Structure 1
Amino acid sequence: MSSGAPPQEVRFCRSADGTRIAYAVHGSGPPLLLTTCWLSHLEFDWESPVWQHFLRALGDIATVIRYDERGFGMSDWDVTDFSLSARVADLTAVADAAGLDRCAMVGMSQGGPVAITYTVQNPDRVSRLILYGTYGVTHHTEETAELERTFQQMIKVGWQRPDSTFRRVFTDLMIPGATEEQAGWLDALQARATSTDNAIRSRAARADADVAALLPQVAVPTLVVHARGDRMNEFADGRELAARIPAARLVTLDSGNHIILADEPAWGVFVDEVSAFLAGERISAPSTPAALRTLTDRERDVLRLVSQGRDNAEVATELALSVRTVERHLTSIYTKLGLSGRSARAAAVARMLTG
């Protein structure tokens, strides 16, 4: 697998309370919005032997919009509100800023309750929902409370230590089947992704993110994907989601990893199932106004110059891009607008002029 990162555009928007949220766009095809999990960094993830295969595979079948959660990665760290409602507001801000009137969505890990809430609150804006390694119901017992107190103390003591002794505990829960390179990268990401205080506050807020009452109200096609041996969010969590969400389908991955690794047989199953589930998004082109709103700002710039009669080289010079980058933008534009063949360029221009 190549280590170079494909082109992505990093942008910023403001959530309802003013928190600055960083989001990125890459890939081509119908839009796919990822509700973020707690451990991410928009740029660092592309170097990852743990996440890179996810980003590349999803980008091959969709235009992926992902973001760093408040308090993490490239988003604002100086925040105190990590409530579910604040996180849903962040997701809404990203969807609005990216011009997503309607799209498919992936709720990963702790991002699941956020995706579920947004889907129920905005049924016309979500076409399909994928819930991966996540949960919707929190089960509080004395045992889970004691375990959470232990984790909180470990974060307080060891999150920013130069050695990764304490962080390795979380790594082993997420990817027990990792190589030392993969485990070491995830150890490092934890300290790089956020501060100790944010890790503690956000984890405490997640313990209250119960959306059990919303599950019967999810009214879009839903795919639940969960590893049988997941230690972060147990398989029972995924099974419960599939049972409570009307007509949801459960796919069981034969793995003990919360994050499926590229060399596992389960990875091929994940890619095949997600691709098949999203195939319906690619069958027909969306209406012209909606399609145009899925274009990134850079793609709009490219299309605007093309509509003025500029060729690829002239567009590249005007926007300080390489010709190859312009070609990639045009390919993405054609895919989003549902265009193909020799007439695609003229049809794209016509859509812009009439949209």
Structure 2
Amino acid sequence: MEFFDADGMTIAYAVEGAGSPLLLAHGFASTHRVNWVDTGWVKALTGAGYRVIMPDMRGHGESSKSHEKEDYTLSAMAGDLVALLDHLGEPGADLMGYSMGAMVALVAAMEYPERFDRIIAAGVGAKLLDPNRDPGPVIEALLTNDPSSVESKGALLFRTFADQNRQDRVALAACFEAVRAPFPVEGLARIRRPVLVVAGETDVQAGEAAPLAARIPGARAYTVPKRDHMRTVGDKAYKEAVLAYLAE
């Protein structure tokens, strides 16, 4: 891993391959390795001629882990992506994010349209349009000393994933509270970059891809058959859809 400073945060990142730059933003409680390397994405993308740039998002992996929710706004994390491009001397790149990373990618497309070409927002859908996204159950699951007491299956899934990846759960709780604030849906209509929205057919956390894509001018939606939120990430059909989209 390599490191650089972004707005007082140390951001860890890795770069693989050569060719057209593609920036990858991983999901909540994950890392660049878990989201992109272990799932076969790096092999697929570098084999297709892309130079993949993969940060550990702030609060995750080997990057700085603040315990203050104010440090985890989607705008702040979008700024980290731009700072990483600046650090690498890249004027622009394609951008793909998964789940939390997709939220960051969409905000980056709103706030820095000159820096990103094509956007792939995966692991998100209609649920992002809901202003009432209660972070409480997941925060409680992350902070409890007794995971067996967690009643919500969805919240327990995040807790288990965080533990598997040896994350700082206090930092993750602060991050989750911030990213579950109402998404700036009014900004979707201002996006002028090509966008592909991807969600699994049975992904109840994201919801359907099409309603979200419909709010973005010219965006397209792709549904990964028979996949939920966790199983979509490394799915072959998801990879094929993205590679076809990037090859257009």
Q: Deviations over 1:283-332 (max 9, x none)?
A: xxxxxxxxxxxxxxxxxxxxxxxxxxxxxxxxxxxxxxxxxxxxxxxxxx
The one-letter amino acid of 1:195's match is: D
| In structure 2, distance between residues paired with 1:113 and 1:262 | 15
Give the gaps of 5 or more residues in structure 1: 1-9, 175-185, 281-355
**Are residues 168 and 56 of structure 1, via their aligned partners in 2, closer, same or farther at CA, if it must alter by over 3 Å?**
farther
Q: Which residue of 1 aligns with 2:18?
A: 28
State TM-score, norm by structure 2. Answer: 0.85
| In structure 2, distance between residues paired with 1:59 and 1:37 | 20
SS of 1:112's partner is helix
| In structure 1, distance between residues paired with 2:215 and 2:15 | 32
2:67 pairs with 1:99: no
2:5 pairs with 1:14: yes
2:242 pairs with one of 274, 288, 291: 274
2:104 pairs with one of 104, 114, 122: 114
Q: How many percent identity over aligned positions?
A: 27
Give the gaps of 5 or more residues in structure 2: none
2:139 pairs with one of 152, 175, 179: 152
1:131-150 aligned within 5 A: 131-135=121-125, 137-141=128-132, 145=134, 148-150=135-137
1:240 pairs with one of 201, 211, 227: 211
The one-letter amino acid of 1:156's match is: L
1:38 pairs with one of 16, 28, 31: 28
Q: Which residue of 1 aligns with 2:201?
A: 228
**Are residues 203 and 244 of structure 1, via their aligned partners in 2, closer, same or farther at CA, if it must alter by over 3 Å?**
same
1:199-348 aligned within 5 A: 199-235=172-208, 238-260=209-231, 267-280=235-248
Q: Which residue of 2 aligns with 1:297?
A: none
SS of 2:222's partner is strand
Runs of 4+ with deviation above 6 angstroms: none
| In structure 1, distance between residues paired with 2:168 and 2:233 | 29
The one-letter amino acid of 1:194's match is: Q
* 8 A contact 2:200–2:223 mirrored in 1: yes
Q: Which residue of 1 aligns with 2:64?
A: 76
* 8 A contact 1:88–1:114 mirrored in 2: yes
* 8 A contact 2:143–2:169 mirrored in 1: yes
| In structure 2, distance between residues paired with 1:258 and 1:197 | 23
Q: More helix per residue: 1 or 2?
A: 1
SS of 1:260's partner is helix
Aligned length: 244
* 8 A contact 2:131–2:183 mirrored in 1: no
Q: CA deviation at 1:209?
A: 4.9
Q: CA deviation at 1:192?
A: 3.5
Q: CA deviation at 1:135?
A: 4.5
SS of 1:13's partner is strand
1:52-63 aligned within 5 A: 52-61=39-48, 62-63=50-51
**Are residues 41 and 112 of structure 1, via their aligned partners in 2, closer, same or farther at CA, if it must alter by over 3 Å?**
closer
| In structure 2, distance between residues paired with 1:52 and 1:29 | 21
| In structure 1, distance between residues paired with 2:98 and 2:61 | 16
Please tell me whether Structure 1 or Structure 2 has the larger radius of gyration of its CA atoms. 1
